[in-house]
Amino acid sequence: MTIRLNRRTALGLGTVATAGTVLGAVTPASAAETAPTTPARAARRVAASYTKFSTQAGGNWQAYVSVASPDGPPVVAVTAQADQRIEAYSVNKIAVATAVLDKVDRGLLTLDQRVEVTAAIVVPGGDGIFSLDGAYPSSVTLGHVLANLLTVSDDTAVRLCGSVCPAAELNAILVAKGFPNTQVEPVANPNRFFLGTSTPRETHDLLRALVGGSLLSPASTTFLLGLLRAPVAFTDGIRRTMSSDDRARIATKAGWFADARHEAGVIFDRSGAAVLTYTLFADGQANPDDFGATHPAVQARASMGPRFLAAVDRLSGTGTAYRTTARRPSNGG
């Protein structure tokens, strides 16, 4: 169900929130409140939380959030400039991983094949762990590359993916899958690229296709979601103020560069079926040099997260249930 924005929705009389809109008559949900029992009610609560905290953070927001419905298409909770094509930054690492895993599914690559990590391919000072090794050359498996790409958002892992899936091929794979706006930006070296663009709606739809099983093989889908749901995956935003069990119900990927702070992902019900999908792109907030948890947009998402989860906590998701393996700390040995 898609609800068009008009003056009535801007005054809090509809269920779709837009960036910069204040629903003054609506009180945001808290985890202590009774969770809604219908997708439409959950969507209204999600919209109220999004509007409150995005407005407090200020800046520009482009977003698309939906709640799964057993009776038909997802119920749209938030649509804010949903078709605006913008720099997606590291959120597009999901798209990069999708293209690489598509080649795995077609037998062109394997997760256990090795790629060489040279000093020349390492991004100096980039996010992640490859730049911290200090000893090159080395070699790692492609599975190891993807694990670092989607958990600690390793920048060198992007170049390593490009070594097995060049930019032109990567973009063609995404177009063939129905995502013409989710594209990396080629550079002179065909095996390197900037992370490129997407739209809130298209990133949302890519995630929906992933959990719906139409994007990749079952094995690749389970692998990719396992990385995005891992305890070591991004925890400063949506997952920040949550128990370890609740964090495991969320697959998420953040992207940060310049003044932009993005995040996109999926919330699962207690059985492991997808129940809420979100794309939250934000830029133009204060403190652009703060890449930590205190940035206004990141704080806003940290406030939204528990409220989004509470809003859908009594709902059942749709489609395949993706269960997680119990994670237990180790003391070595």
Does residue 183 have a pLDDT over 80?
A: yes
Q: Are 51 and 44 within 8 A, CB to CB?
A: no
Radius of gyration of the chain (CA): 19
pLDDT at 241: 97
Query: What is the reported pLDDT for 327?
Result: 80
Which pLDDT does position 33 carry in this prediction? 54
pTM for the predicted model, two decimal places: 0.89
The predicted pLDDT at position 126 comes to 84
Give the separation between CA 103 and CA 111, rounded to whole angstroms: 10
Q: Which residues contact 23 (CB under 8 A, 6 or more apart)?
A: 12, 17, 47, 48, 51, 52
Q: Which two tokens stand for residue 114?
A: 């090795």
The whole-angstrom separation of Cα 310 and Cα 218 is 29
d(CA 279, CA 240): 17
Could you report the per-residue pLDDT of 283-312, keeping only the tens digit for each?
A: 999 999 999 999 999 999 999 999 999 999
**CB 34: neighbour CB atoms within 10 A?**
9
Identify the pLDDT of residue 62: 98
* DSSP tag of 214: S
pLDDT in tens, 4-20: 333 333 333 333 454 33
pLDDT in tens, 31-49: 445 778 899 999 999 999 9
Whole-angstrom distance, CA of residue 86 vs CA of residue 79: 15
CB-CB contact of 140 with 117 (8 Å): yes
Mean of pLDDT values over 151-178: 98
**How far apart are the C-alpha atoms of 202 and 209, rounded to whole Å?**
10
First-residue to last-residue Cα distance in the chain: 53
- Report the distance separating Cα 89 and Cα 253, nearest Å: 11
Helix 218-228 / helix 142-150 crossing angle, nearest 10 deg? 50
- State pLDDT tens for residues 219-228: 999 999 999 9
Quote the tokens at residue 200: 């809130």
Ranges of beta strands (E only) in 224-315 are: 250-257, 260-268, 273-283
**Both tokens of residue 313?**
């906590």
**Per-residue pLDDT, 93:** 98
Percent of the chain whose pLDDT exceeds 90: 84
pLDDT at 64: 98
